[in-house]
Structure 1
Amino acid sequence: MLSWLGRLLRTAAPTRGHAVLCAAVAAATVALFAAFVTGVGGPLVAQNLSNVALFAGALAAAWGCLVRAWGADRHRVRWAWALIGLGNLSWGVGQMFCIWYETVLGTAVPFPSLADAGYFWMMPLTAAGLLLLPTSRQSVAQQARSILDGLMIAASLLLITWVIILGPLVAQGADSSLALLVTLWYPAGDVVVLTIVLFVLARVRRGGPRPMSLPLIGVGLAAFTVSDSGYAYLTLTDSYGSGAVLDLGWFAGFALILLAARKPGTGAAAEDPQALTRPLGVMLPYLAVLGSLVTSTVEVLRHGMHDTVVSWTRSAIILLIVGRQLLTLLENRSLTRDLEARVEARTAQLRASEQRFQALVQHSSDVVSVIDRDGTVSYQSESLERVFGYDPKDAIGKRLPEIMNAEAGARLRAAVDAISGTPYANRVIELPVRHADGHACIVEVTMTNLLGDENVHGIVLNSRDISERRELEDQLVHEAFHDGLTKLANRALFKDRVEAALRRRGGSEMAVLFLDLDGFKEVNDSLGHAAGDALLVQVASRLGDAVRPGDTVARFGGDEFAVLVDAVADAGAADEIAARVIDALDEQFLIDNQEIHVQGSIGIALTGPDAQDADQLMRNADLAMYRAKSAGSGLYARYDPQMHSGLVEKLQLAADLRRALDNGDELQLHYQPTVELRTGDIVGFEALVRWRHPVRGMIPPADFIGLAESTGLIRPLGQWVLAEACRRAVEWGGDKPLTMAVNVSGRQFDQPDLPQVVASVLAETGLPADRLCLEMTESVLMTDTEENLAVLLSLKEIGVRLAIDDFGTGYSSLAYLRRFPVDTLKIDRSFVERLGGTTPDAALARTIVQLGQSLGMATVAEGIEQYAQFLALRRMGCDLGQGYYFARPLPAEEAVALLRDPAAVAA
């Protein structure tokens, strides 16, 4: 049965296993009772069955308690279960000796014996375990009262036990003093343990998890008490024998302790500070005293007297009651003083809170008013005089809507009617109110319906002057939609005006003009930003004078302006306004006593099929402005749909170029040979990039180089050209080294790491630095001169050669040529063309050649297409030449073939 019970406890779920275990214990108890009553098998079988069942029950209860101790998460609870389990185990050891005597040796168990030594320790260990259970935290007075309560309970139960059990046992006597002591120990120990159970049950912590089921343990110990008392009596009368019905009490006690150990603990609960004042905790000592009084009184009525133990015990109980009452009286006096102090403190807090509330209301920046349903003022805070200048006493008893102006009164009455039917409803309204000194105020009123509140009985108005806040909001709105410098509308307001004009225009046309100042950057750079700001203010003023009164002028930022021309008759009318604006700007500006001339480029866009909303209209005007700017200064252009198509085509071409750079199979280099004019030998090539578009075919460099520069793609494109050209130069070098020329744009010079990029490419390809020539235009040298000079010096340190392309078409000076570390001057093809024909003009070309010779620079003539041009340049002393006369730019394969057949080049 024990092994089956153990498997059940290990495998069953807590709730279901507990129910099954209860049923099993009940069934075992019934089986034992039936065996004892019916006497099946005879006395010997009943004796052996009872001994084994009690031994198994003790071990099972000990096992359950020790397992519960092992799983406990609190130190004190773990020791409590462990001691209770050790007490059951001690009883089981005593029962083992009883089985040894009666079953193995076949003799009666002597009294006292080793079995009593095991039984003896169950109650002390159980009592110690129960006393270790955590109880509620108590003050010193509460601890003293708890001790007195425990002593009262113990004395009362001891008196009841003496009268009913112990007294008669002592009167009967025993074989020896030790036998009498052991006999009395069992019921006396049970009484002590029961007292501890009741005491702990009354004082156990009400908050937090319950460590054990005290009712089950208490009932089990009560069953022990009955059996122990019967055992003591039967032992003294030499009539006790194992296997009697009396053994059921012990077995039931072990079963209930086992069930208590296997019962799941209760969940955590909030700690109850009033746990010690509940009826069970307060009345339990008195109930025990009442029981002892009844028991002793019945004993006196039966025998006419009572012995010395009863008298002393009753006296002790009386002294304990007196002590407890005195302690209670002292506690009550302390509680009364504490309660009075708390009431005084709370009253002072309420008084301070009331005064603080009154001070807050009276000195608040809000004006607090209370009105009834018809608007009559029943309360008015003193802040009315400070905020609005009126005496608050004059407002009491007056109807607020009547003393306001008509507009404010009507709005207030409407708001009162709206919230008066709903308790605690509130509403916020803004009212115009006149200050006592006459100036107008904007007042924000928060209304709350407290008509149903017994402390108010009215509608509470919290009013504050928001005039300054409203002015600030208006100022912020104005600043958000206007330019801070010129006070004109900004882009957001301009777009809003355009959208509004489009909605109301009906069938009439409207126009948008975009204006960009030409030369404004130079004014800023030369005279400073203050002068530039002054210029912008004057431009804004002239724009306002040039347009019609109903038109909107806006500044978008920088030197960009816009004009909304609402309801124009036709496109010509818009052109006239643009012409007036240009004429107005054409007059000189006087800034810091200096005359300044600026012009404007204007783009015009009118409503039509391709401009149905504000964004499209503004975009069209912007495109037209850039067209006007590209045509020259001081011009205007009207939007044409082809401008948008060109822009879309440009964007698509830029996307295709980016894709071509990523793929790398559409771009290729063509190579134009550089020929030494004196010998006719090929001494190098110029690498020229070509783009074979998969749809549009071969795209000329003029169509995509500028696009690459404007989009920033020229940097990766230039790096690819540089790497590919250097790789080819290494392949074609052979016995006669060739020079590879590569063009470098101004955007590439903007890279501070250009020298590092060139050095990296040379290192990767293995091309010597002196065989690479970087060509740049004069405009590159003249822009950011100092920065570009630093870049050129870094390139020369690497060892590359530098050439000025299209020399003579720019505005270089001899001073700059001496500063820049240039190796070669390339004569522009426009000068070479003048060498052919019937009346050749060789003066410019000869001058450049002589200039190069004087500066120690080589000269290269571009665009040689005729023999006469070749001959003239060679006679002038020009060093090198390029052009169709020698060869067109060739793919790599044809360039290699040209190198193998030098006779193909004209001599």
Structure 2
Amino acid sequence: MKIDSRVWLGGIVALTLLYALGTLTGDGGLSLTERLGNWPTTIAAGAAAVSLFYSARTRAASAADGEANADGADGAAALRFLGFAALAWFAGSLTYAVTGLLSANAAVTLTFGDLFMLFALPLFVLGFMRFAPLPRGVRPAVRHFTDCYVCAAAVFSVVWLLLFAPLYSELGEGAGFLAFALVYPVADIVVLCLLAPLVATSPHSTRRAVLLAIGAFVIICGADLIGAVSRLTGVAPAGGIEYPVRLLGFALLGSLPWLIRDRAGAQPRRITGRGLYRFAPEIAAAGALAVAAVVLTIGGLRLEGVAPVLPLAAGSAVVVLLVRVSGVLEENATLSRMVLTRERHFHELAHNSGDVILILDFDARIFYVSPGAAEAFGYRLDDVLAEPVTAIVHPEDLPQIRAAMSDFGRGAGQGIHLRVRVRSGDGTWRHTESTASLYEQPGEPDRLLVTTRDISAQVALEDQVNHLTFHDGITGLPNRAYLEERAREVLARREHIGGAHEVAAIFLDLDGFTAVNDSAGHTFGDYLLAQAARRLRATTDSGVTLARWGGDEFAVLIEESAHAQQVVDLAERLARVISAEPFQVADREVVLTASAGVAFAERGIDSGELLRNADMAMARAKEQGGGGRLEIYAADMHAQVVSRLELQTELRQALANGDFLLEYQPVVDLESSQVTAVEALVRWRRGGELVMPDVFIGPAEQSGLIVPLGEWILREACAKVALWRASDWDIALSVNLSVKQVLQPRFVETVAGVLAESGLPAGVLTMEVDEEVLLENPGEAVERLSELRRLGVRLAIDDFGMGYASLAHLRQLRVDAIKIDPSFIRDLGTDGTVTLLTHTIIRLGQDLGMQVIAEGIERAEQLEQLRSMGCGYGQGFLVARPMVAGGVEALVGGEAEIAL
């Protein structure tokens, strides 16, 4: 059960009073207290030792001294040393009790009991100093000991004059006897003056223990003083009052661990420079010296003679006091110089620092401001001091200032960092970063020290970095990262607050931009993108986020729209504004169209899926031909994408399993009907079905599988044609190339290796490329094809007339043949314009010395018109269908001529 400390103290006092009552009754001239002698105090000292040792062990095991140890104290060690002191007092008291039983008239001299008693004093000092450590450093320690000596000398002088001097005169004893009698008082006074000043400087966590320990020691000192008087007089004062007093001291010392268990020490006082407790040693020494001076003066007037010990004590105290005063004067001079130097350094720092330094009262009035404030913020010094600092702080930032003032008003000791906007002298708002801390000066009210730095340039740079992070540098529009984050916010808000408005995304792609960018240069393309962005921005209004998604793609996030039709109408307007009129770039006019895709945000959809659906719809619009086409996302689009991914996986497995085969379509001389070459065409055996290239070539391109597939086609075709040529059949080979094949780093080396492996002459092989090859990275493509031509391989442009700037490609790359696109041959004779264009292409090829091949000949009238136009070669179903190698061999085995 926990006992309140006041109840505990009350019990100790009551027990002592009951014991003290024994001094009032007696038998045969001796009181009960005198007859009991030292036995009660012996028991009390022993119990105190046990209590202190037990508490020290318990405290050390539980590590209960964390807070005290942090302040420099050691509670467990303190209780242990105090336990040893109590044990020494117990031994001394026990010795007195035993010797008292053996001899009732013990001589007044130092015994073994006295040695134990005196040995307890340094142990008590060691224990006390574990609760209240000495000042750290040599000079503070010297100051403490000199002050304690002055205090002890003054107190002894008073005690001597008031108590021992009259006894000395009456007894007339020699100096030796007096020295033995004064051992206890002198030792107690020295220890008391040494420890008393430490009470004021002790850690707050041990303050209660320190007060109880010094109280117990004062009581023991009182008992020692009474004992010294009884030794000199031979009579126990007040019927043996020494014993109850000593009992009270030991009881209080033994109860110390239990009285401090339920209550922490007092909270530390905040140092303000005005607290007298900071100078406790000096005050104690000065007070004791003043009392000693008064008492000595009065005593000197009344007494005729003075013992030799008094001048010795008083003179030594004066000498030490003079030394101490000289040290104090020197310290004060040093401190004054330090204060002046620091003040000068502070003002120099404030004057030369790039920061503004202010000292503020708690009502925000400016007490001091560094001269740099005028230069930093454009104010005159008098203008700054005239008003509180809150007058120039942005209204939105005033709550931060008030909160900081409130924190300091509640005693906050840590510095506070603030970022506020301050109005400068020209009326603009500057961004500042400030650090505020408590500013304490002795004798002055508390203030705030504020260091302020102008960070407007830093904030502007941060804003610029943020803008560049979330905006496109070419168009100035928000970029992909911004749109994705904005889409997340919009959809999260809709899920949180609900609403029936539509959230949608529109993706637009500029048709033909890649060709323009590659042919005219990236600078031309960037300027074209900037113009397109301005048109799109002018078409959108509030509630819409327009962003550049990447490349030539733009994205629009419709944050709220009343109807889905409004979203579709906006998408159509955006596509029309692109194609409404040509773009003017330098001295050129460029006509572009835009393909658009629209996706609506269903409930539960995330931002990534919404944007992905819109992108998928746009891709579908481009697959359908583009040219301003608009597609709205439907679930089957996702299924088509999944199907395409599955197809790519099947193609990879088919290539590994050897499920591809080649068919060959003859190329015929239209004049002689002689087969002069074959074009290798790949087919896929998918189960029992033969799949045509238009189904799987696109997915193979997208997955990159076209590279190994194209190498297999080249290797198989070269080997077969080389075998035919070994049979004395003069026939050439044509193989189609894709963009990814041409741009492979070792493409030319691969072709050379296949030719060397098969033995096919390079001049027999014709590589057919369409104009797409020359639009994607044209510089590298032209270089690779030129290397191929230097190897001896012939080059042909496939589907000539359908791409962008076909004539420009003929200028960039020298080719050996052009193949007229089947769309021209299909309308030959039925469309006058197409017929004229076909004739022109044939004449162009002839004039440039190129072989002209017509593709897609299916009707006899087409063949006759081509012959009349002078077209040299042709292929198509009318001439010969694609066939396996065996069919070609059968055809060759008869006659290498086709009846036309």
What TM-score results when the alignment is normalised by the length of structure 1? 0.49
What TM-score results when the alignment is normalised by the length of structure 2? 0.50
Q: Larger C-alpha radius of gyration, 1 or 2? A: 1
